[in-house]
Every structure is written in C-alpha cells, then in structure tokens.
Amino acid sequence: MFNKIDELLKNGIKITYLAGNHDFWRGNYFKEEFEIEIQFKDIEKIIDNKRFYISHGDGLAYKDLGYRILKKIFRNRILQKLYYLIHPDLGIWIAKNTSSTSREYTNKKDYSEKDGLKDFAFKKIDEGFDYVILGHRHKPEIVKKKNSYYINLGDWIEQLFVWLL
C-alpha cells in the first residue's frame, strides 16, 4: 500500500487522505511521512464545472446509532492522547482486534433493505451535486441518477487502485 502511495505522489498525483472510521488513531503519519493533507470533514469541490461531494460515509448507514456514539468517543482528543501513551505493540494489537471485530460485525449486520449511504448520496444529488463519492461499505458501486452519479469506491487499497491503473 505505501509503495502505491509513494508511486502516485512521484507521478505528480496530489493525494488528500479523508479520515474514516478506522483512521482517527493514526496521528500524523501520512502528513509527516508523505506530506499528504489529512481531511477530517466531507469535501465539496468543483472540478471542470462539476460539483463533487466526497465523504468516507461512516455513520450514514441506517441502524448505525451505536457506531455514531462510538465515533464521538473515539474522536475525543483526550482519549486519543491516552492511547498514544501505551506501548505501540499493545496499541497495534488493540487497533487490529477492534478493526477486525468491527468488520466481522458490520459484514453480518442487517442495515435494513434501504441503504443509508445510497439514500444520502441521492439526497446530495437532489441538492445539485454531479458526483457523490463515498466509501465505508467496501463494495464498489456506480449508480446513475438523473445525470449524476453515486460512486462507492469499495476498499481503497485493493479495489480503488485497480480503478486507477
């Protein structure tokens, strides 16, 4: 993964890292190591007269109240500073275990027949965005609505880089 990031940067591609549900403990690694801008809020941008809305998508699923509460706890600066005080081996173990447990839970979870991410994207399209780009679900998808598109990038490491090549 880091080789691909380095390759993209060397080819003049500017990267903005949009932090998501597993990214709030990582500190400034990407900024310090690769000089990549880290963005913590959704991005609204106009490119070639097209309006883009870009978001990680975490917390947008229906039936996701538990995660939205955890998000506020995990993004608490005091808790993050306490996390940095523990030994890195323990910190990595905690991060890996919570991440894999979370992924197993969310992959099995029934979020309902309606897709909160897709409904959110369609609402943004109705507000005038030409492209709404989300992630979080790890399932790549492109859906056209009117003359606009909802794009879910899927897994940014495996699937997104296939799209870029």
What pLDDT digit, counting tens, does each position of 74-122 carry? Answer: 777 788 788 778 888 887 787 777 765 555 555 555 544 577 889 999 9
pLDDT of res. 148: 97
Looking at residue 89, its amino acid is D
Amino acid at the residue 130: D
Banded pLDDT at 165 (limits 50, 70, 90)? very low
C-alpha 163/C-alpha 4 separation (Å) is: 13
Least confident interval from 42-51, 86-95, 142-151: 86-95
